[in-house]
Structures are given as C-alpha cells and as structure tokens.
C-alpha cells in the first residue's frame, strides 16, 4: 500500500491506498484538523497510531505551501512542514513531497464525470493544457501542461499575485483592502478569508443587527460559511453583494488563469468553497466574468469549466503520485 496525504490550512487528509492502473483505491482515510498539531510529523504519527500500520511501499504528501526539497512553509498555519522525519519514520521508502494544488491537478485525469459539475461545456481540446484554481482557506492555482505527449502538473503561487480590480465597485474594494492590509493579493478576495473581507466591506454602512451572519454584533467573528448561507438564502442584501463580488472575482481570476495556461482542455475549480455555493456559480455571473477577456471572448467561451465535487481530489492525486514510485 501507499501512504497519501493532503495537508491544508484547515484540514488534513491522510490515507492508505492500494495502487491500481485505473485509480488508486482507498483502504483507510482519516481527517484531522491541521491546527490541532504542531508539525507534519505529528499528524502522520497520529494517523499511523490510529490505523495501526506502518507498511508503506511509497509516500506522497501534498501541502498548501511552496515546497523546497523536504521543507514547505504553509502560509495559513503557524508551522513549517518538514517531510524528512515522516520519511524516516516509515523506513526511508520512496517518497515525494509536493504542493497540494499540484497533487489535485494530478488527480484531474482520474476523476469521473459524477465528480464534476460543469459550469461551461465549451469545446475541449484533449491535446491542450488545463488549469486548476481552488478557493478554500487560501487560494491555490496550478497548471496541467502537455509536454511531448505527457501531462505534467505544475504548482504555482498565483493566489498571492496582485488582485486586479475591473469595475468601479472593485476599485473601491481594492482601496478599502489596501488601507487595511497594504498590498492586496488575489487571495485577499478569493478565499475563505476573502469572503470575510468582502463581508466587512459590504457591511460598512449596513445594519448589523438584521444580518443573520453576525453573532452578538461582532463583525470579526463572522464565518465565511455563514455569509454565503445568508446570501444564498437572500436573507441580507449586503451578504448577497459580498457573495456576488466573490463570484465575480473568482470568475475573473479563473479566466486570467485560463489565458496564462492556454487552457483549451479545461479549467477546474477545486477547494472547499465552490461545491458549497454552486447555485451562485451556475447563474451566469461566474462565467460572465470568466469570458470577459476581449478580444478573446469567443476563445474563452470554448474553454470547458467544471467544479470538482470530490473533497478528496488532492488526496487522490497524492496517491497517484505515490503509486508511480512503486511501479
């Protein structure tokens, strides 16, 4: 069996998988809260203790951060991930340490149609590149590049690139965020914490006592999921605007990524937010922002766009990577 992992800013998934030509088959999968641990080694040790086995033929763990050798700095949690102790505790088996979005991108060719929700059918070019954008705790981006007949997953730190305001309201938002935080990265808008920032922006002059997302009048404790629930249920006009701004920014950045990758094979939305707000993504607003790339509007309409529904996609990709180490 192979050991696969997906370490994010909020949750960590670890699993034992049986290699298979079609797709690695999960044997045991466990979920952990990342911030409950002080190291990557600690999470893996807990998993090994929980499952009672250490017989790994190979290991691959994806982490939400920039990987340099066996070290990764995770932006949204307060510790640095060191892969070396994990490899040692499992007997120096073949091992790979990758960015979590690269792992998720690796999984895309192995996903079934039932694990995807199309936002734009488009006309897929099977010989083209694909791209992945995933809003969750932070914002991740990756590419699936076709090189000499092979598909290569390539990580990026595109979520930390500059936010590009397009409308007067977005310019107003960018100015507000710049006053609060200085430089405004796209992740500051398109992520879970971005939804919280958008909430504060749209509620600056709103009556907080009538907003169902606010508990005890404290704006700082508002949860992104409460904002989106309020918006989807049309219970607060300022929440509706916050979600609308989020969808616009998400669609626009997905379109930017499609242009950068020349993603004629498709663009995929991963992460935990998209499946939870599907009604807001399928009403035309997201795709409207996605295709608004004159003079390439018609080219953008041909790009297939889908939401990844399987929350374990990055874990599957890590298992795929691990399986290649034992073939």
The number of beta carbons lying within 10 Å of the beta carbon of residue 9 is 21
Token digits of residue 161: 């690139």
Fold category of 113-309 in CATH: Hexokinase; domain 1 (3.40.367)
Q: With a threshold of 0.85, does the pTM exceed it? A: yes
Q: What is the pLDDT of residue 327?
A: 66
Same fold yes or no, 2-107+312-324 and 113-309: no
Strands 266-270 and 305-308 turn out to be parallel
Report how far apart, in Å, the C-alpha atoms of 100 and of each of 30, 136, 227, 317, 319 are.
17, 12, 26, 9, 12
CA distance 274 to 134: 8
State how far the Cα of 189 lies from the Cα of 65, in Å rounded to an integer. Answer: 18
The arithmetic mean of pLDDT across residues 214-224, rounded, is 80
DSSP 95: E
Tokens of 300: 């953008």
Query: Highest mean pLDDT: which of 86-100, 110-124, 216-230?
Result: 110-124
Q: Please, what is the angle between helix 237-261 and helix 168-181, to 10°?
A: 90
As a whole number, mean pLDDT of residues 23-42 equals 95
Cis, bond preceding 295 (omega within 30 deg of 0):
yes
Q: Mention every residue, 6+ apart, whose C-beta is less than 8 A from residue 291.
A: 120, 255, 297, 300, 301
Burial of 296 (0-12, 13-18, 19+ CB in 10 A): middle
The answer on pLDDT for 101 being more than 80 is: yes
What pLDDT, in 10s, does the model give residues 122-181?
999 999 999 999 999 999 999 999 998 889 999 999 999 999 999 999 999 999 999 999
Write down the number of H helices and E strands in the chain. 11, 14
| Domain limits, the chain | 2-107+312-324, 113-309
DSSP track, 208-226: GGG-TT-BTTBGGG--HHH
H-type helices in 233-312, by residue range? 237-261, 278-281, 285-291, 297-301
Which pLDDT belongs to residue 206? 87
Highest mean pLDDT among 50-54, 62-66, 303-307: 303-307
With contact defined as beta carbons under 8 Å apart, do 44 and 28 qualify?
Answer: no
**Nearest-angstrom CA–CA distance, 130 and 125:** 9
d(CA 82, CA 75): 14
- The pLDDT tens digits of the residues spanning 222-231 come to 999 999 999 9
* Topology of the domain comprising 2-107+312-324: Nucleotidyltransferase; domain 5 (3.30.420)
């Amino acid at each position: 069996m192979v050991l696969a992992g997906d370490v994010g800013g909020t949750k960590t998934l670890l699993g034992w998988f049986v290699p298979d030509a079609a797709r690695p088959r999960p044997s045991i999968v466990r979920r952990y809260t990342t911030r409950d641990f002080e190291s990557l080694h600690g999470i893996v040790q807990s998993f090994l203790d929980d499952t009672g086995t250490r017989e790994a033929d190979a290991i691959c763990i994806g982490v939400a951060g920039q990987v340099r050798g066996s070290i990764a700095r995770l932006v949204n949690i307060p510790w640095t991930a060191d892969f070396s102790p994990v490899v040692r505790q499992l007997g120096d088996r073949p091992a790979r340490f990758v960015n979590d979005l690269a792992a998720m991108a690796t999984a895309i060719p192995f996903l079934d149609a039932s694990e995807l929700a199309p936002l734009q059918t488009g006309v897929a070019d099977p010989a083209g590149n694909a791209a992945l954008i995933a809003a969750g705790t932070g914002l991740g981006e990756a590419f699936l590049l076709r090189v000499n007949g092979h598909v290569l997953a390539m990580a990026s730190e595109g979520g930390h690139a500059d936010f590009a305001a397009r409308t007067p309201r977005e310019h107003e938002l960018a100015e507000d965020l710049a006053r609060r935080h200085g430089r405004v990265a796209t992740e500051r808008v398109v992520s879970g914490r971005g939804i919280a920032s958008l909430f504060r922006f749209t509620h600056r002059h709103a009556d907080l006592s009538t907003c169902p997302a606010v508990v005890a009048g404290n704006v700082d404790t508002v949860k992104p999921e409460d904002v989106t629930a309020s918006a989807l249920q049309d219970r607060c006009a300022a929440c509706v605007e916050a979600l609308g701004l989020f969808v616009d920014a998400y669609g626009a950045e997905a379109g930017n990524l499609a242009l950068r990758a020349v993603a004629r094979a498709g663009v995929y939305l991963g992460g935990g937010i998209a499946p939870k707000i599907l009604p807001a993504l399928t009403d035309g607003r997201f795709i409207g922002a996605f295709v608004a790339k004159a003079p390439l509007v018609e080219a953008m309409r041909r790009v297939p766009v889908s939401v990844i529904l399987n929350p374990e996609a990055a874990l599957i990709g890590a298992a795929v990577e691990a399986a290649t180490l034992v073939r």
